[in-house]
Amino acid sequence: MYLCFYKGEYVVNNSPSTTFLSYSHKNRDIAEEIDNFCLSIGKILTKDDRDIRYKDSISGYMKKIRQSDFAILLISDDFLKSINCMYEVYELIKEEDYKDKILPILIEPINIFTYEGILNYINYWDEKEKECRNKLNEKDPLKTIKLREDHKIIDNIGHEIGDFLEILKGIKCKTYEEIKKSGYIDIINIIAIDDKQIAKEIFNIRNLADNEDKELNLESLLTKYPKNKELMFYKALLYSEKKEYKKSKRYYEDLIDSYPNFPSAYNNLGSLLFDHFNEYDKARACYEKAIELDPYYVNAHNNLGILLFTQFKQPGEAKKYYERAIDLDPKFAKTYTNLGILLYTFYNEYDKARACYERAIELDPNLAFAHNNLGNLLFDHFNEYDKARACYEKAIELYPDYVEANYHLGILLFTHFNESDEAKKYYEKTLELNPNYPPALYSLGYLLLSSNRYKKYNKRAKELIEKAIRLDPTLTNKQGIYIINGKNYF
């Protein structure tokens, strides 16, 4: 079973200015790209999936756009026809200086620069208003108070969209491709990031292909700004990415000495201690400190849950932290996967575990670990072998070097589809990725001994099984006995 461990997040800086990111969820991928860029240079945007907490008012969140210094608007047909997006615009244009706040980015070719195009959107919202009004007239007013509030919002949007589009028509709008090609310089200039030069330098360093070049450029920048928090953080992160873990650990500790109230430094140091030093008590203290400093820190809750489950054997405490992470961010797919593993392996709550895996995949269809874990559950406890096969195949499609998924698919093909040749291929792929993976060594040996077709491989089968048992003596308790040269192989 593979736990999704979220590591190595980049620092965010509490700069004085705030920037609101408004987008249609159909354009979520581009919104994530822009958000990740801003995070990489030390700027955190106000964004719905990060800033709406459990039980928060969504309309209250949307009104925050008025309080922001700047607003990035990802303009698309879906955006201009979304009640939530246009409600944010409606709130924004109440501000006298809203024209100076906006950075509109065109996501797709869209007709908003002609009168015909503008009239099309005015007509769209007029029709929405009439449709809503007609439905409300058919109902008891006492039963439709909330719906009448929605009708008022739609009516307000209809009155304002023409003026808003006229404003867009009169200013220079750039496409996302143009913004991206320029290295996001327009965003940097508009949202007035503190230490612009440092931000741009970090961005350029991160995009260098060679790690040695990254290190040299970073050291040069640190000579100018030796105590800059973002640079110190990135230095620690860079050495972790280079697998120089002792140096990375020291740099995180230096960073914490200089900035003792920096949650991300504690979280990343905790991950380093957990993953590479087996210092579990210290890792736990780091995660707990990160959460103390920032009680809304989703990643730290998730990581502490993993640590408590895997190393402290405290499933109840782990479950509490996973559930808190999901409360804080109901769209954080990795935590659903981790909670599913806990429910499956410890509590035997298979239906709930399945729901967690399926929710994770719904939120992030590219999360290979969720597909693999769902495959395990369907295989072991629901006997849905075709679906399990599809899950493993999807996991491998997303992550071809996924050791466990290759192995699990081999087991499934051998035991339930009688596809020995295909199973053999996946076992061998597993061992190509990890030559010392005992289950695959044992299973391939077992397969070679199971059919007369593979008699010529008896010597190899013996070697595989003996190596597997040397690496993991518990395999001798498995079912199935074969005798080679007077020895029993289980």
In a domain, 209, yes or no: no
Integer Cα distance of 255 and 236 in angstroms: 8
pLDDT of residue 132: 86
In a domain, 238, yes or no: no
Residue 296 lies in a domain: no
Measure the N-to-C terminal CA separation of the chain; round to a whole number of Å: 22
Which residues constitute the domain of residue 133?
19-191
* Residue 172 located in a structural domain: yes
- The pLDDT value given to residue 60: 61
DSSP letter string over 74-143?
Answer: EE-HHHHT-HHHHHHHHHHTTSTTHHHHEEEEE-S----SSHHHHHHHHHHHHHHHHHHHHHHHTS-GGG
166, part of any domain: yes
pLDDT of 48: 77
Q: Which residues contact 1 (CB under 8 A, 6 or more apart)?
A: 341, 344, 345, 373, 376, 404
- pLDDT (0 to 100) of residue 150: 81
- Domain at 38, CATH number: 3.40.50
**Which residue type sits at 478?**
K
Domain boundary among 191, 206, 231: 191
Give a yes or no: residue 254 inside a domain: no
Question: Could you tell me the two tokens for 316?
Answer: 């109840």
Which pLDDT score is estimated for 258?
Answer: 86
d(CA 262, CA 267): 9
CATH number of the domain enclosing 418:
1.25.40.10
Listed residues 154, 172, 191: the one ending a domain: 191
Judge contact between 7 and 271, C-beta under 8 A. yes
pLDDT score, position 13: 41
Domains of the chain: total:
2
So what's the pLDDT on residue 6? Answer: 45
Among 16, 49, 53, 19, smallest CA distance to 32 is for: 49
**Tokens read off for 413:** 């093909």
- The 10 Å Cβ neighbour count of residue 329 is 19
Q: Are 14 and 246 spatial neighbours (Cβ–Cβ below 8 Å)? A: no
- Determine, yes or no, domain membership for 78: yes
Residue 331 DSSP label: T
Write down the pLDDT at residue 190: 65
pTM exceeds cut of 0.85: no
What pLDDT is stored for residue 146 in this prediction?
A: 67
Q: Which residues in the chain land under pLDDT 70? A: 1-17, 40-42, 49-63, 141-146, 189-197, 476-490
> What does residue 53 show for φ and ψ, rounded to 5 degrees?
-85, 165
In a domain, 169, yes or no: yes
Q: Which of 191, 218, 235 is the last residue of a domain?
A: 191
